[in-house]
Structure 1
Amino acid sequence: MASLDQYSLCPCGNGKKIKFCKCHEHLPEMQDIYRMISGEQNVAALDRINANLKTMPSEPWLLAMKCDLLLRLGELESLEETSAKFIRLQPDNPLAKLHRAMVAIVRGNTEEGASLLLQSIADSGETIHPMTAMVGMNLIEFIGQRGSILPALLHAETLLDLGQPMQQVGMSAYQSIVSDAQSSSLLRESIPSPVDPGDAPYAERLDEASSLIEAIRISGAKTKLESMIREFGPQPAILQALLHCQLILTDGESAAATCRKLTQCPDLPEHQKVYYQSLAFDLSPQSSGISLKDDLVVYTIEDPEFESKLATVKSLQPVPVDQLKEMLQMMLQEEVPPKVAYVCTDAVLQEQFAESEPLRVGTWIAFYGKQTDKPARLVALEANSGYQKKQIDSIKSDLGLNSVKRELIEQLHLPFVQRISSQVMIRQQIPDERRLALSDAIKHLNTEEALDIPLECLGNQSMREVAGKAEYRVALQAVLLSWQARNPSGFTDADFDAIHKRLQVSEPKLSPELDVFDLVGGAAYYWTDLANIDPQSLIQLMQSSLTRGIASMYQPLIDRAQSTQWPEELRGSAEYTLHNLKVRVCSDPNEAEKLLARIIESGKKLNVSIGSAIIERFELLSMLGRHGEARVFMENAVRENSSDPTLMRYIQSLMQQSEMAARGNSGLGGQSSAGNIADAGGANSSGIWTPDGPSGSSPDSAGGGSKLWVPD
């Protein structure tokens, strides 16, 4: 920790150096406390601060240092009390607002935390307090875990605009968010800019609100925009500016409502209406009418033979209790785990794949034996639509539950897109030559299921039922966009083109001459007209699609890139990016290994990091049984790329595992630790689950999913 002198920033947090701050007369005492903190004498320093506060209860530097110490010591209650006093005495102090923001975030009040953080940044001017990065990252992590991906992205972009060292922290958060292919791509791109209001009567006031947003005076801008809506009505430009404010203040429900209002604006083109409706689905599935209702219920069991009866039901497959234990504890506030647990299944694809015994996995049930203070119980999550409802209804009939006392604990809302990616359990080995056919069959099964589920946003009708009805055209296109933006495993852009045709709607195609991302955000990945795209725009779209894992667009981008006449200055980058795309869709491990070799060579010419490609090729060679070649390749790669941080971290990890193996705790063996590409086109790439398969495997780990650096 650096020393404290008169040219250091004052601990009070007003942004001035101590020499020019009114706190300067206390410099000797500050230095004594600072030395104690530097020597990790935190408790003694806290005692010294408290003693000073008895005679100087309003000194901001004392309150600031006390807040900092309490935060280090994890004393949340005391921090809340002290930070409240700090901000009451210093309402415009940026540091006081940061401490209050931190308390609000830890307490789960993200709207207050975001508002105070943004106020602190705005009040700080050019001197941003270092604590801003910590508060910002805590907010981003907290709201990200709660599914508020787009607000987290906007806060990461805010940190990026603050210069070093905030820029480095913001970039780390930004890259983590945009590369998470499990999240909707609509939530991982910034929202469009407001449309030009022209000479509208509210144009001048909108400019004022925009200036406030640019100055990060978000709460003031929000108040002004809401006043304008009351006076001028829901104008698109006002709503778009308000949407930004609501999102960065982490108010997802209000943001979703604003998106729905934008969908009703007659002046917006249809493609923007579809985008905003789909964004509303992602921001708040329940209030936007695209969630499915499941009932968490408990049956009181009096039959002493009931547990034995469970084991006789063929459509119930036992699962380890530990898989449900944590979830049940959270849902039921139940410390005692169930005696047994099952997943519900039904036989599917019997005509084509009966020999593999495919079973579609649905919901779950858990049986609790009789306890001292509680009777025997069966807890179940009962779906109210789709194949899972048919499964649970059949099982209830088999177990005689229709005449048993049923208690509704809670009604849960599940986003539609999570329900339609069913897993299929394969009980017998699948021949390699049949895996692709099985994957296609499962994809077809999931598609047909999705088209038949009634949705509130479609008037409680299914997509199939509203096909061709003009009044549901925008909502139907929005559902399809929301589905594709979730990157469903195994689905391609051609699959979604076919679904659009079946439902009698067309997918928008926007000219690349427009700023498509500023028109429709993340929908640009699917709606940009590739037939008329220029080379520079194409390579940018390819790189961005790779970074964000837009898997359904890989093949169309490959096809377009291969037919493009690349100018000389783009040829090297285009070749590198094209190989990256190809390895993502490659189902032949031998071909994937060759592509990785080309990626490494292309990367060397471009002087970009190739550590990830080296690692994947090494693991793939090992998996193919070419261990000697793999070893020689890695030895050469380490010599030639000894400064590559990704490669060095991997080597360090291998060495640690080797040491553990030598102690008899574990072993590397000769097999690949990843094996991603070998599974491409196989079971895990299409929602197939096998009882002996790796737990927690990600669908995106298949299909040649190499995590390669791409130049943005």
Structure 2
Amino acid sequence: MSLDPYQPCPCGSEKKLKFCCGADVSHELEKIQLAMEGEQRLAALDHINKLLSTHPKIPSALMYKALVELSLSEVEQARQSTAKLLEVAPTNPPGLALAAILDCQDGNVLAAISRVQQALEQHPGKIHHLVYQAIGTLGRALFATGEVLAARGHLTYQVRVSQGKDETAFSAMMDLDSSGQVPLVAHTFADLVPPPAESSLSAAGLAEFQAALKDANYGCFQAAAKKFEALAASEPNEPTIWRNLGTLLVTLAEDDIAAAIFQKYAAFAAVPRDEAIEAEALAQFLAMNGEEYQVPEVTATFTIDDAPALREAWISNKQLQAITLRPEDMDLAEGEPPPQSAFFILDREIPSTGVDIARDAIPRVLGELLFYGRQTDRAARVEFTAPQLEDWNDRIQKVKTLIGSHLQGDPTEEAVGLANRNAAILAVNWRFPDDTPQEHRKTLILEQRRHLLLNVLPDSVQAGLDGATLRQAAANPQLQNKALATILLMDLAQPQEEPVFNEVRRSLGLPTIDELDPAGRKIQALSLAQLTRVEATKLNDEDLMQAFTRGTLVSCRRLVLKMGREVVARPSLDKVANKEDVFEILSRQSNDPTETLELLTKAQDWAKDRGRSPARFMLQEIPLRLMRGEQAEFTRIMETLRAKHMNEPGIAQGLYMMLAQLGLIRPQGGAPGAGPGGMPGAPTAMPAAAPSSGGLWTPGQPAAAPAEASKGKLWLPGMD
């Protein structure tokens, strides 16, 4: 049976088949559809080619051909078929969508944005399945190329179109939010806002405003942006026009223009100061990829003679720290040999001990040295790479001193990359003596970071402050909000509130950011940045759960930790909140191993008190116990799991996989060999190190070796 000639044409034109590709090809189109639905791609391609031999300009056939070729990984052929489709029907939505998908594959995301917008504008409110697919592909491609806010705009729209039913789209958006790359202030301006009730807009302007919102609701962001841009020119005194225009330009990856727009919005007197500072902070974030926010990473090349003698001397030099570089991890040109040696150069020798070491005695890493011997067409050389900060010449002199009489001529310099200037200024690049206690390291690093924030950063030139320093901007009323925005961006990037940022504000004479009393405030109206300041203990149960949920939905670690801790502490929420899940979320977000263990212990108690299994929390406890060297606790957990929980769904498999990843058992079962104290597979190869930023050690991250224990008391899967 042929396709109904009065049904919509498969090509996506929104015309009836009879009046588009033609009723005379309906039988062949049905054959193609059936073959594709049965995943008989080669058969479908035969039908398509047969149809195109007699009807070479049928959009449906060309669309199907490009689709089949893509599914067969015949990318170049798909590109040709798509080009033919767009030659026949330049505004065909599926053709534009296919071209956008191919653009994404080539990394040309800006062209893909334009094509997707053109496709959506053809039939506003009606989205062909290929256009829907292209939106998701584009969102993921934008994320992969670093356009995180544009990516979020596209993925959010795809989730909204699917009404949350597309798990792939929702998962992609959650992955993006949990990546840590989306600044908290971006969420404040992620959605368009209606015109205020008391607006200065003319009747015509108000109508155009609503028309722009309608376009955006259909995903036609480019059309909506053009309307708001025209409105901004004709009625420039309405702040919401500028705000919405900035939001749309962010989604369209026009970051530079969007930054200027948000700065314009922040300058309106009608915008509340907190919101103005957040808008300025977003503007600075959007502009951050500009060269003025970066510092060049430079490689200085020193030609040397008698390379073997110099290399021998360097191996025993205590101002150099040998490092291991794998050739496969280096960006080497074809045929280029790897360096013979690699070192970190320190500003002083490593002290003999780090016990009770003072902050000013810790060696600082100045950069990386690569040592190359003589090659057929090139003299022996040393390459030094580091950010070109204010002390660059001092660093170069250090290298010259190390090379000494082996130096031949002046070094050459080449920019090899860019690094964020503030990140380079605030980096604590130290080399501790090996015996420095972990707690002492942590204390010293925090002290150094505080020193840099209070005494170094304020006198460094900031691109976001029109070339002024923070100290200069704080003294200039016209630049104070920009200075506050610069500090806010750094403040909100931390997983928890840190008093040092208010110290910075006070030292510069700027207003501090203090906790907000929720009394009389609508919690749902607060931005996420403001919500992190709310006193959790003063929220009622409903508002507390709403705040916690908002934090989890956008993976806002600071908000999740602050509100989640209050959720589990409230007896009144015992029957309202699933505290097992809250405990687990908190344990994964905390960066304090002690707190993480307390949370996991409370989660186990909570589960047991309600007659449920605590096994999943016990599994999460294992890596932490190993990291802390607490073998007695590790053994207790293992024996409890074996005796009580191994028959529970997923527990045996989860334990086996975890122990295999930790290197405690071989994949085929059994211990890989007894370590010190007879502990099978004792993780002695795991170097002592700080836990991961999440507070919970996971396979692949360093952990400390546990203490010794008796061999006979430890059971592992596969040892029965």
Q: Deviations over 1:277-304 (max 9, x none)?
A: 2112222314495x23124234251433
Q: Deviations over 1:36-60 (max 9, x none)?
A: 5567664564455334323211111
Instruction: Quickly say closer, same or farther: Cα 1:311–1:191, change in 2 above 3 A.
Output: same
Once the two structures are TM-superposed, the CA of residue 500 in structure 1 deviates from its matched residue by: 2.4
State how many pairs are aligned.
675
Picking from 463, 469, 477, the partner of 1:456 is 463
Q: Per the alignment, in what secondary structure is the counterpart of residue 341 of structure 1?
A: strand
Whether the 8 Å CA contact 2:201–2:235 is kept in 1: the answer is no
Partner of 1:599: 603
* One-letter identity of the residue aligned with 2:305: D
Whether the 8 Å CA contact 2:674–2:682 is kept in 1: the answer is no
* One-letter identity of the residue aligned with 2:269: P
TM-score, reference length from structure 2: 0.78
* One-letter identity of the residue aligned with 1:454: V
Larger deviation, residues 54-63 vs 298-307: 298-307
Partner of 1:296: 298
Partner of 2:710: none
Q: Deviations over 1:515-549 (max 9, x none)?
A: 677665x4234444657544333333334445656
Instruction: Quickly say closer, same or farther: Cα 1:569–1:314, change in 2 above 3 A.
Output: closer
Matched, 1:71 2:49: no
* One-letter identity of the residue aligned with 1:353: I
Partner of 2:506: 501
* One-letter identity of the residue aligned with 2:463: E
Structure 1 gap segments, 5+ residues each: 688-692, 699-712
* One-letter identity of the residue aligned with 1:220: A
Once the two structures are TM-superposed, the CA of residue 445 in structure 1 deviates from its matched residue by: 4.8
**Aligned counterparts, 1:35-434, within 5 A:** 37=36, 42=41, 45-46=44-45, 48-121=47-120, 123=122, 128-132=127-131, 134-163=133-162, 167-181=166-180, 183-187=182-186, 191=190, 193-194=192-193, 196-197=195-196, 198-201=199-202, 202-233=205-236, 235-287=238-290, 289=292, 291-299=293-301, 301-305=303-307, 307=311, 311=315, 314-322=318-326, 326=329, 328-329=331-332, 335-346=336-347, 352-353=356-357, 358-385=362-389, 391-399=395-403, 404-410=410-416, 412-414=418-420, 416-417=422-423, 420-431=426-437, 434=440
**Aligned partners of 2:287, 2:193: CA distance in 1, in Å?**
22
Once the two structures are TM-superposed, the CA of residue 151 in structure 1 deviates from its matched residue by: 1.6
Once the two structures are TM-superposed, the CA of residue 207 in structure 1 deviates from its matched residue by: 1.9
Instruction: Quickly say closer, same or farther: Cα 1:288–1:373, change in 2 above 3 A.
Output: closer
**Aligned partners of 1:450, 1:609: CA distance in 2, in Å?**
51
Once the two structures are TM-superposed, the CA of residue 596 in structure 1 deviates from its matched residue by: 1.3
**Aligned partners of 1:526, 1:507: CA distance in 2, in Å?**
14
Larger deviation, residues 648-657 vs 380-389: 648-657
Once the two structures are TM-superposed, the CA of residue 136 in structure 1 deviates from its matched residue by: 3.3
Picking from 631, 641, 647, the partner of 1:633 is 641
Whether the 8 Å CA contact 1:316–1:344 is kept in 2: the answer is yes
Whether the 8 Å CA contact 2:62–2:85 is kept in 1: the answer is yes
Instruction: Quickly say closer, same or farther: Cα 1:18–1:459, change in 2 above 3 A.
Output: closer
Larger Rg: 2
Q: Deviations over 1:356-411 (max 9, x none)?
A: 98443353233333333444444333423267775455334543679514143456
**Aligned partners of 1:537, 1:206: CA distance in 2, in Å?**
33
**Aligned partners of 1:287, 1:586: CA distance in 2, in Å?**
32
Whether the 8 Å CA contact 1:340–1:366 is kept in 2: the answer is yes
Whether the 8 Å CA contact 2:584–2:617 is kept in 1: the answer is no
Once the two structures are TM-superposed, the CA of residue 68 in structure 1 deviates from its matched residue by: 0.5
Whether the 8 Å CA contact 1:288–1:457 is kept in 2: the answer is no
Instruction: Quickly say closer, same or farther: Cα 1:220–1:501, change in 2 above 3 A.
Output: same
Q: Deviations over 1:572-625 (max 9, x none)?
A: 457964785478547465x74453143256579999998864531354466632
Instruction: Quickly say closer, same or farther: Cα 1:479–1:316, change in 2 above 3 A.
Output: farther
Whether the 8 Å CA contact 1:338–1:368 is kept in 2: the answer is yes
Q: Per the alignment, in what secondary structure is the counterpart of residue 56 of structure 2?
A: coil
Once the two structures are TM-superposed, the CA of residue 172 in structure 1 deviates from its matched residue by: 0.6
* One-letter identity of the residue aligned with 2:281: S
Whether the 8 Å CA contact 1:386–1:452 is kept in 2: the answer is no
Once the two structures are TM-superposed, the CA of residue 309 in structure 1 deviates from its matched residue by: 6.0
Whether the 8 Å CA contact 2:303–2:408 is kept in 1: the answer is no
For CA contacts below 8 A with separation 6 or more, give which structure has more relative contact order: 1
Q: Deviations over 1:195-239 (max 9, x none)?
A: 734132333322221121112222211222222223333742112
Whether the 8 Å CA contact 1:181–1:487 is kept in 2: the answer is no
Instruction: Quickly say closer, same or farther: Cα 1:126–1:230, change in 2 above 3 A.
Output: closer
Query: More helix per residue: 1 or 2?
Result: 1
Instruction: Quickly say closer, same or farther: Cα 1:554–1:339, change in 2 above 3 A.
Output: same
TM-score, reference length from structure 1: 0.79
Structure 2 gap segments, 5+ residues each: 704-720
Matched, 1:616 2:615: no
Q: Calculate percent identity across the aligned residue pairs.
A: 19
Larger deviation, residues 499-508 vs 169-178: 499-508
* One-letter identity of the residue aligned with 1:338: P
Whether the 8 Å CA contact 2:692–2:701 is kept in 1: the answer is no
Larger deviation, residues 99-108 vs 431-440: 431-440
* One-letter identity of the residue aligned with 2:640: V
Larger deviation, residues 203-212 vs 603-612: 603-612
**Aligned partners of 1:613, 1:60: CA distance in 2, in Å?**
56
Whether the 8 Å CA contact 1:579–1:598 is kept in 2: the answer is no
**Alpha carbon RMSD of aligned pairs, Å?**
4.7
**Aligned partners of 1:113, 1:220: CA distance in 2, in Å?**
16
Q: Per the alignment, in what secondary structure is the counterpart of residue 371 of structure 2?
A: strand
**Aligned partners of 1:164, 1:29: CA distance in 2, in Å?**
35
Whether the 8 Å CA contact 1:117–1:132 is kept in 2: the answer is yes
Q: Deviations over 1:485-539 (max 9, x none)?
A: 3227xx643232333222322244566555677665x423444465754433333
* One-letter identity of the residue aligned with 1:267: A
Q: Deviations over 1:667-692 (max 9, x none)?
A: 9986799x99x99xx735699xxxxx
Q: Per the alignment, in what secondary structure is the counterpart of residue 353 of structure 1?
A: coil
Whether the 8 Å CA contact 2:302–2:408 is kept in 1: the answer is no
Q: Deviations over 1:106-135 (max 9, x none)?
A: 222212312333454565677644445543
Instruction: Quickly say closer, same or farther: Cα 1:6–1:168, change in 2 above 3 A.
Output: farther
**Aligned partners of 2:155, 2:330: CA distance in 1, in Å?**
31
Larger deviation, residues 65-74 vs 619-628: 619-628
